[in-house]
Amino acid sequence: MTLAVRYTSARTLDTAPADISPPGPGEVELAPAYVGICGTDLHIFHGDMDARVATPAVLGHEMSGRIVRVGPDVEGWAPGDAVTVMPLRWDNTCPACQAGHQHICQHLDFIGIDSPGAMQQRWTVPATTLIRLPDTLPLDRAALVEPTAVAVHDVGRAAVKEGEKVVVVGGGPVGILIALVARSAGADVRVVELSAHRRALAEQAGLTTWDPATTDVPELVREWTGDAGTDVAFEVSGAAGGVDTAVDVLGVRGRLCLVAIHPRPREINLHRFFWRELTLVGARLYDRTDFEQAVALVADGTIPADLLISKVVPLTEAPAAFEALESGGDVMKILVDCTDDTQGAAV
């Protein structure tokens, strides 16, 4: 029997048998090994995305695993190959796709939200979504490739350059990944985060952190930059105060990269944008080159995956893991172990 974690209604998850059918033309069947729980998954769990998510919904899009079967017309892939999945399916006909922006297709199927995700023991996906993993990369660490690809895309959208000063507002998993990717690009980075646990973890990764509850962040930036302000700020907190901080720290012609999802409109200091000729850029998802760079960063240790993984739980304990993440505390990234030894899944 193959099991899946399913969202059925607000704050309700279950584990139930999942249907398995042979992969069709252009498809592959995967044995997911590890699946990360992210902020979007929590939004679904809270019921915030019920207008979009059809229940029962199998969650999960941060994953690693191995191919079990390949369907007709699939070339270049074989059972046993280690892979992750870029969970995007686009129509290639809408104006966004026609302009070359398939990753933000106007009719995008985000696999794991709009269609069944990876938190199950068998998963069938289009072969076009596969990203190859090095055999030397442990599959638990490889589950961090997808959020790292988000960070790579964010840093690219902000056009971070060597020697620039960067502030990341929000030190959760994506915020820390952005800081690490920006540092790998040669930037001088500071992370602004309220949680002492998250600050300590970021500092273990070699990052410098500031606590906005006990320090005047704009004043620290003035001292750090000689009153110039930062070149780039990333808003990853999702809070109104985080938006204010990200705008306040920017210098002349600074770039604000909006990463967090803000479900309601926020007030923003537009006079600051006018006065300093600031630029606001949005950053959503990723493309294949972002994923390939993310694989390299996780594989070579630039991303300290072991440090970021707080806990690994079996698939049957996934509902409790969602509650643990919701409560906050000393938790960064929880992985769900989907391996099914009874079916011979290679992990």
Report, as residue numbers or ranges, the catalytic residues. 40, 43
List CB contacts of 201: < 8 A, sequence separation 6 or more.
171, 176, 307, 308, 332
Q: What's the residue count for the chain? A: 347
- Dump the DSSP string for 9-32: ETTEEEEEE-------TTEEEEEE
Number of Cβ within a 10 Å radius of residue 347: 18
Is the separation of the CB atoms in 132 and 75 below 8 Å? no
Quote the DSSP letter at residue 54: P
- Dump the DSSP string for 257-277: EE-S--SS-----HHHHHHHT
Which residue stretches of the chain are H helix?
39-45, 95-98, 139-142, 145-157, 173-184, 196-204, 217-225, 240-248, 270-276, 288-299, 305-308, 318-326
Rounded CA separation 287/102 (Å): 8
